[in-house]
Amino acid sequence: MSSLLSRATVLAAAIALAAPAAAIAEGDTIVLGSAISITGKYSQEGRNARDGYDFAVKKINAAGGVKIKGKTYRLKVKYYDDESTPARTAQLLERLINQDGVKFVLGPYGSGPTKAAAPVTEKYRIPMVEAEGASRSLFTQGYRYLFAVLSTSEEYLAPVVDLAAELAEKHGKKPGDLKIAMAFENDPFSLDVREGVIEQAKKHGMKIVLDDKMPRDLSDISATLTKVKALKPDVLLFSGHTKGALTAARQMKEMNVAAPIVGITHCESADITGKFGAAAEGILCPTQWAETLKYEGKLFGSALDYDKAFRRAYPEYDEVPYQTAEASAAIVVWADALRRAQSFDTEKLRDALAATDLQTFYGPVKFNSAGRNIGKPMVLRQVQHDKYVVVAPSQFAADPVEYPRTVAQQ
């Protein structure tokens, strides 16, 4: 197989050298391509990501664009709607690369679509910087052209388990005595999150008393919550993207379900503080980014600066979800790589991306050999008095954890 591959590679390289430079920069615009969820299951998250891409592109263009070999270029993103469907993502990426001549790809939203996209960009040797596909399995396939600015999915709720163990010990209980109840959406991302939880639980010897899946449309988990009421777990975990978070928070409030520690992913994009007020108190929310973190970058300044500027440009957002921040970070990474490579050659860009070592408002970006960003950790926040407060890891914690979680009776 390897001789066939190497022969194919030589052939492909020869053709690539012989071929005229494709129209990757239309005049003075660099076109980045993205197949993303404009409609379908993840349309809301896709919207958050797109706003992040657009905001960063506008800022970079306003700040003078990207200068390559003395010429100034503006950035532009070309979007296709992948309808939140992995098969369509793959097809549309083929289209972007083959028909539209795009050489710089941004990731789709979601682990499923990203898992479908990665083989395509890998096959065509087109670098992709993705910000919305957190599945660990993306980084075990040996992809060289995939770069992810976000932390991976198993790190989402595992820190909650660790925190539970820590608090148990502090209060004189054995971590192994803790009971975990959880419900996950049946999709690649949430199941990865679940894997992470199971690993951590096993490490501490905790018992998982309830391991449910959410229904496909994520609209109703009352049956699960009924079981939770009976089982009285110490730790309650949910992951179902934005819709799942909304349903969990809403029905927990309706059915008066409580546990000393509650962890839910995607709280911010579900806006649980805005929608549920006091009922959201004490919920732990893993986040890729928080505006209160002390990160700084050249383009946007600090995390807080980014937060303020974005909300001014998009007043309909109460909270800036991390999906938006990491999307902007992806654009920043691309611009940085283009500047360092001073070229449109995809191989040079791939190497430039691999060598990224950048401080941004989103956090440090440094890719390991598999394309993962090892510079930035996941951060755990807790809803305290209608605000998200960073409580873990300890070097970032702004306030101690409120434990056990008590919700005011209505």
- Residue ranges in 305-364 that form contacts with other proteins under rule CB under 8 A: none
Residue closer to other proteins, measured from CB, 252 or 331: 252
Q: How far is the CB of 296 from other proteins (least distance, A)?
A: 33
228 to 267, contacts with other proteins by CB under 8 A? 229-231, 242-243, 246-247, 250, 254-256
Radius of gyration of the chain (CA): 22
Place of tokens 């263009």: 61
Residue closer to other proteins, measured from CB, 233 or 363: 233
Interface residue with other proteins, options 142, 205, 274, 400 (CB under 8 A): 142
Place of tokens 């194919």: 8
Report d(CA 182, CA 327) in Å as an integer.
Answer: 29
Q: Is 3 in the site for other proteins (CB under 8 A)?
A: no
- DSSP secondary structure, 154-213, as one string: GGTTHHHHHHHHHHHHHTT--GGG-EEEEEE-SSHHHHHHHHHHHHHHHHHT-EEEEEEE
Q: Is 223 in the site for other proteins (CB under 8 A)?
A: yes
Binding marks (x or -) toward other proteins, 144..183, rule CB under 8 A? ---------------------------------------x
2 alpha carbon, distance to own chain's centre: 35
Q: How far is the CB of 400 from other proteins (least distance, A)?
A: 29
Q: Is 43 in the site for other proteins (CB under 8 A)?
A: yes
Could you give the 3-state DSSP secondary structure of residue 157?
A: coil
53 to 72, contacts with other proteins by CB under 8 A? none
Contact call for residues 220 and 210 (beta carbons, < 8 A): no
Interface residue with other proteins, options 34, 48, 85, 152 (CB under 8 A): 85
Q: How far is the CB of 364 from other proteins (least distance, A)?
A: 26
182 to 221, contacts with other proteins by CB under 8 A? 183, 185-188, 190-192, 195, 209-210, 212-217, 219-221
Q: Residue by residue, what is the 3-state secondary structure of 301-350?
A: EEHHHHHHHHHHHCCCCCCCCHHHHHHHHHHHHHHHHHHHHCCCCHHHHH
Q: How far is the CB of 215 from other proteins (least distance, A)?
A: 4
Q: Which residues contact 21 (CB under 8 A, 6 or more apart)?
A: 344
